[in-house]
Amino acid sequence: MKAFLIDRYGKHQGRIGEVPEPEPGVNDVLVKVYASSVNLLDSKISTGEFKLILPYTFPLIMGNDLAGVVVRVGSGVRNFKPGDEVYARPPQARIGGFAELIAIDESALALKPGNTTMEEAASLPLVALTAWQVLVETARLQKGQKVFIHAGSGGVGTVAIQLAKHLGAYVATTTSTSNVEWVKALGADVVIDYKQQNFEDVLRDYDVVLNSLGPVELEKSLGILKPGGQLISISGPPTAAFAKEQKLFWGLGWVMRLLSSGIRRKARKQGIHYAFVFMRASGDQLKKITALVESGVITPVIDRTFPFESTAEALRYVEQGRAKGKVIVKLI
C-alpha cells in the first residue's frame, strides 16, 4: 500500500512509498483511510522533537488523524464491523494516518458524526480531543467561568472556542486582523487582534488559560489569571507528572521537572496551578464529541484540502502557522 513516511528525523524528510499492509491484531480494526488531517505535531515528530518520549522506529508512517471505512476486525473486537464509517486519533505509539490502510485499537476508534464528510471528520480527532482533555478533563470548566484560548483561528482554537461556549464559559482569544470577525462568529466573546493589542494589557481575572504558543506567551498568561486560576499548556514545558503518566525513564522525569520549574514556581507564587497536557487517544471521548458535532454544538473548520500526493506540501503549509482551522489530506 502507499504511505507517507520518514526514514530519519529531520526537516522535510517525508516521502510517499510502498509499505506492507498492516495486519490487525486481536483488538484491532483495519480501516481504509479516506482522509487524514495535518497537525503541527506531525512536523514536530518528523524533526525528532519528541524522540525522547516517543521512541519511534523507521521507516515511520506519519499521520495523527484519520477518517475512513472499516475493512476487517480482529477476533476480540465487539463494537465495530466492516462497512462502518469511523474516525480516530491513533494511539501515539501507533500513528499512521497518512496511509491507505491503518490497523488501530478499537479503544481509540469511534463512529464518525453522521452529518460530516470524511474530510470534516478527519479534521476533528486530535484537536477536539485536545480541547476536551484541557477544558473538560483538566480544567473542569464551569458555567460562568472565564477562559482565554490562545490562537483562536488555529485547529485547536476553533474547536476549543466552540466547546468552551457550550460549557457556558466566557471566552476570550487572539487572532490576526483579518480573522477577527471570523473568530467572533465561532462564539468568542472577546477577540484580541494581536497585531494591534497585547492580550496581557486587556484581560484580567481569568479562571483558565489554554496555551498553545511559546514560553513568552505562557509567562505573560500568568498576569491575566486570578488566584486559584489554571494555566494549562499543550506546547510545554512538560512536567514530572506528565513523565509519570507516560511511564518514562525516571531521568526524563527529573529533566521535565527541571524544564518546568521556572513556570511552576512563578505560578505557585501567584496561587495559580500549572499543568501540561499531551493529548491521548480515546474512543470514548470521541463518542461524546460525535454527539456534539451531530447536535450542531461543534462545527468542523477546514482551511485547505490537499491530494495525498501533496502531503509534503500540506505539512509545509501547516508549518507556516497561517491556517484557519485544519488542513486535510484526501486519499479517496
The confidence score (pLDDT) of residue 246 equals 87
The confidence score (pLDDT) of residue 270 equals 97
Main-chain dihedrals φ then ψ at residue 255, nearest 5 degrees: -60, -45
The confidence score (pLDDT) of residue 53 equals 84
Place of cell 457556558: 168
Place of cell 503549509: 317
pLDDT in tens, the chain (332 residues): 999 999 999 998 899 999 999 999 999 999 999 999 999 999 999 999 989 888 899 999 999 999 999 999 999 999 999 999 999 999 999 999 999 999 999 999 999 999 999 999 999 999 999 999 999 999 999 999 999 999 999 999 999 999 999 999 999 999 999 999 999 999 999 999 999 999 999 999 999 999 999 999 999 999 999 999 999 999 999 999 999 988 888 899 999 999 999 999 999 999 999 999 999 999 999 999 999 999 999 999 999 999 999 999 999 999 999 999 999 999 99
CA nearest to 53, candidates 249, 196, 208? 249
The confidence score (pLDDT) of residue 13 equals 87
Strand partners for 86: 68, 111
HEC per residue, 204-260:
CCEEEEEECCCHHHHHHHHHHEEEEEEEEECCCCCCHHHHHHCCCCHHHHHHHHHHH
State if pTM tops 0.75.
Answer: yes
Contacts of 15 (CB under 8 A, 6+ apart): 4, 5, 6, 7, 312
The confidence score (pLDDT) of residue 219 equals 98
The confidence score (pLDDT) of residue 54 equals 87
User: Is 282 in contact with 306 (CB distance < 8 Å)?
Assistant: no
Question: Alpha-carbon torsion 13, 19, 23, 28, what sign?
Answer: positive
All domains of the chain in start order, with CATH:
2-123+300-330 (3.90.180.10), 126-276 (3.40.50.720)
